[in-house]
């Protein structure tokens, strides 16, 4: 009887200890939610290589839904000297090389299609055009930038670095 009581107390102590240690606060309401990543950037002529002289400016904002692999973005520019021919995303290349063009934001094929001196574009990459995992990681690591060109500045009038701001989760 003494041995059975001792064994029973031992088992109760072990079970009590296990239940104590297994009581962790764990939020499993979003076990697979990767969140939405927020990005921002400002562009100007000083970020060009070599620096430019334009007094125009640009702002970028974007949200990447890591669950759906959808990247929504908006690019604004103002006070340029002339119309916009292209706006493109650039990213990393091999070490020691210039950044390479990753994706088009806007490309004009005729002068009539150029965008105004002050304007904005809103678009998204999704589905078959979704960001690859490498592109999404490079974007989060701050390796992306945007470049805006004009007829008088075909190599770029404004450049802006895109930076990761934060991640949020839908409630």
Q: For the segment 79-103, what is each residue's pLDDT rounded down to a tens digit?
A: 999 999 999 999 986 565 677 999 9
Quick one: three-class SS letters along 83-127? CECEEEEEECCCCCCCCEEEEEEEECCCHHHCECCCEEEEEEECH
Q: For the segment 13-46, what is each residue's pLDDT rounded down to a tens digit?
A: 555 555 555 554 545 555 688 999 999 999 999 9
Do residues 137 and 24 touch, judged by C-beta distance below 8 A? no
Nearest to 36 by CA among 143, 115, 139: 139
pTM, two decimals, is: 0.79
Q: Is the dihedral of CA 129, 62, 64, 140 positive or negative?
A: positive
Topology adopted by domain 36-168: Immunoglobulin-like (2.60.40)
* Mean pLDDT of all residues belonging to the chain: 87
Q: For the segment 55-81, what is each residue's pLDDT rounded down to a tens digit?
A: 999 999 999 999 999 999 999 999 999
pLDDT tier for residue 146 given thresholds of 50, 70 and 90? very high
Is 134 strand, coil or helix?
helix
């Amino acid at each position: 009887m003494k041995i059975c009581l001792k064994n029973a107390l031992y088992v109760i102590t072990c079970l009590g200890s296990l239940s104590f240690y297994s009581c962790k606060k764990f939020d499993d309401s979003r076990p697979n939610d990767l969140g939405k990543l927020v990005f921002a950037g400002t562009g100007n002529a000083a970020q060009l290589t070599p620096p430019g002289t334009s007094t125009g400016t640009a702002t970028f904002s974007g949200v990447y839904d890591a669950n759906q692999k959808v990247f929504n973005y908006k690019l604004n520019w103002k006070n340029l000297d002339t119309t916009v021919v292209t706006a493109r995303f650039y990213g990393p290349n091999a070490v020691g090389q210039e950044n390479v063009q990753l994706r088009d934001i806007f490309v004009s094929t005729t002068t009539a299609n150029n965008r105004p001196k002050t304007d904005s574009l809103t678009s998204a990459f999704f589905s078959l055009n979704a960001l690859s995992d490498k592109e999404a990681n490079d974007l989060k690591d701050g390796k992306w930038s945007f470049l805006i060109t004009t007829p008088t500045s075909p190599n770029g009038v404004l450049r802006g670095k895109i930076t990761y701001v934060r991640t949020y989760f839908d409630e």
